[in-house]
Amino acid sequence: MNLELATQQLKRLRDDAQTCTGNGKVASYIPELAKEDPCQLGVSICLPDGTILSAGEADKPFTLQSISKIFSLIVALCQNGQQYVFERVGKEPTGDPFNSIIKLETIKPHKPLNPMINAGAIAVAGMIRGKNVQARLDCILDMLRKMTGNPEIQVNHAVYCSEKKTADRNRALAWFLKDSGVLTGDVEETLDLYFQHCSIEVTAKEVARLGMVLAADGIDVYTGDRVFPAEVARICKTFMVTCGMYNASGEFAIDVGIPAKSGVAGGIMATVPQRMGIGVFGPALDEKGNSVSGVNLLESLSKEWNLGIF
Ligand code: DON
C-alpha cells in the first residue's frame, strides 16, 4: 500500500462524508453526550505492521458506549468459557432497537437474544468476576490499555454520572433479568459496571488499534502478544456482522460488508480480517443510533479499497 496515496484518499473520503453530518443528531438521552459538536468526523486505520493513517478528528476523545460490549464479552468469555456465557445470553439478532425490552418477556427462556443489545450486555457485565465493581472494571480497562498501548485509558466520569442518573430503561432491563434468573448477584453493582464500561474514553486512533487486534485474531501487532484466544475473536467478529450495527446490521453487511460495532457517542470500530482495524468518530447519529457520516465513510472506503469480506 502506498501510504501517502492512501492518506490522501482517506482525507478525501472523510471530507466527502463529513458533508452528511447535518443529516443526523447527537444522542441526547444521555445528557452529557448532547454537548458534542455534530460536525466532527475523525477516522484512523491501523495496518498489520502497526502503521496508522488518519484524517479529521482522530485524536478527539469520545466514550466507547456500545463498542464496549465487545470487550466486556471478551472478558466474560475468557473468564467463564462459552458454555457458561451462552447459557445466559443468546446468539441471535433481534431486529429491535438496542434498548428494547419486548423480546425479554415474549421469548422463552427469557434470556437476552445477543450480547450486543443492552439487555445482553448487562447480562454479560453480570458475568465479569472480581471482588468489587472496580476490580471487575479493571479487567476491561487493563485489556484496553494493553491493546491500545495507552496506560491512561479511563472512564469519563461526567458521561458515566450522566448515564447513571438517566438510565431508567437499563435499570428496568436489569431487574427483569434478575427476576428471570439471568442476573444473579447485586443488580445495582452490575449496572454500575455496565455504565462505567460504556463511558470508557478513547480516540478513533485507539479504536483502530482495537479493531486491528480483532483483525489479527487476538494478537497485538505492536508486541506480538496474544491478548485473547483466536476463537474469542472469531465469536466477536461474527456478532459484529450479525448484530454490531443494531437493527441496521443487515443493511450494513450488504452495503459495507465489514464486521463493525457502533456506539451512541458516534464511534464505530470496524475490523477487516488480517488487513486492518478502522476507528471512526462522528457523533451525529441516524434514527437507529449509528453515526451517519461514519457509515457513509465506511461504505465509500469499503468500495474504493475493496474491503468487503463477502
Ligand atoms: O446503555 C446505553 O444506552 C448506552 N450506554 C450505550 C448505548 C449504545 O451505544 C447503543 N447500544 N447498543
Give strand pairing partners of 279: 44, 269
Residues 133-144 pLDDT 10s: 999 999 999 999
Question: What's the number of domains the chain is made of?
Answer: 1
Domain that holds residue 108: 66-198
29 lines ligand 1 (CB under 6 A): no
Position 253 in a domain: no
State the CATH number of the domain containing residue 147: 3.40.710.10
Position 280 in a domain: no
Nearest CA to ligand 1 atom 4: 65
98 lines ligand 1 (CB under 6 A): yes
Position 191 in a domain: yes
Position 151 in a domain: yes
286 lines ligand 1 (CB under 6 A): no
Q: What's the pLDDT at 77?
A: 98
CB-based burial label for 34 (10 Å; 0-12, 13-18, 19+): middle
CB 111 within 8 A of CB 182: yes
- How far, in Å, from the CA of 115 to the mean position of ligand 1? 12
Q: Which of 246, 280, 293, 295 is catalytic?
A: 246
Residues 207-241 pLDDT 10s: 999 999 999 999 999 999 999 999 999 999 999 99
Position 266 in a domain: no
Position 111 in a domain: yes
Position 178 in a domain: yes
Q: Above 90 in pLDDT, residue 108?
A: no
Position 93 in a domain: yes
> Which residue among 68, 264, 288, 291 has the greatest number of ligand 1 atoms within 8 angstroms of its CB, and so is best to mutate?
264
- C-alpha 15/C-alpha 21 separation (Å) is 11
Share the mean pLDDT of the chain. Answer: 96
Three cell numbers, residue 296: 457513509
